[in-house]
A and B are shown apart, each in its own frame.
Chain A
Amino acid sequence: MEALPLSEPVLLILLSLAERPRHGYSILKNVEEVSDGRVRLSTGTLYGAIRRLLDGGWIERFKEDDSPRGRQAYRLTARGRQILRQEVSRMKQLTRVASLCMAPKET
């Protein structure tokens, strides 16, 4: 369970790439859409995260045949997908515990 919990922007970036390979602009749009406009990443923040995710081997570059100049797609690696699964599992467990704690107690 290394590097968990993930920060929200990183989690959303990984989730957007879990669906399919995406390029930078598509990641930004998807993150904004999935978070209902709550998380709006700047380009600088996105590419800082992308560089570190590439260095960590969580994502990799993906060659698109009809990719225009300046557009580079990224996709999750097996390692990235495993970490994402671990994080989702951790969050599920946390949600379950929270539901139990907050459920009205019968007297």
Chain B
Amino acid sequence: MLSLCRYLLYLYPTAHRLEYGEEMVAVLHERQAESWDSGVVARWVFWAREIAGLLCGALREHVLATTGLHSWVEFRLRRFSMRSEFRFPKATGWLMLVILAAVVMAIEKAKAISASLPDTHPYVGPIQPAQFSVIATFAVVFVAGCVIGAVGWAVLFALRRSGVQRLSELRLR
């Protein structure tokens, strides 16, 4: 289990792993020695908690490193107060209204054109729904999940490569 936890440390950002990895392994080692005195169930609960903690911790560190929220204090404050750079711009609201008006106008125009044309098309009949097998459905869901995951990872990777997470550390003179 300790070996598994060592591998899980590789899920952390490199900087975090280099800074705290050795300490974390030392603490896990001491806790493992302590857990030998407890029962089998307690030991499994202990390892489940440790593994869940490492997985959640790795995810949290990646999110914090990507979003640039390096300070825990800042993280807590941001949950309750929006900062100026994250305000929803008023111009976006107006732009959305203009787009909505354009879409409504396009629909009305299409209806008018449709009404003006003579009805010369033959009756097509009801459209039959496509039949999906269970395996095909699972395959489609799996592929869609992989694609969404890959896109999410690519976005996080691009943000990290762009150095956007370091913007909050800049000190303007």
Contact = CB atoms under 8 A, between A and B. Distances in A.
A, B from the same assembly:
yes
Interface residues of B, number: 31
A67 B143 CA distance: 51
B26 A49 contact: no
Secondary structure class of chain B's binding surface, majority of residues: helix
Interface stretch (B16-24, B84-92, B144-152): B16-24
A7 to B, nearest CB: 8
Contacts of B77: 2-3
B71 A52 contact: yes
Given A28-B31, A53-B72, A42 B23 contact: no
Contacts of A58: 73
Contact of A45 (B26, B30, B57, B70): B57
A55 B19 CA distance: 13
Given A40-B49, A42-B54, A44-B56, A52 B24 contact: no
Interface of A: 2-3, 10, 23-25, 28, 40-53, 55-56, 58, 69-72
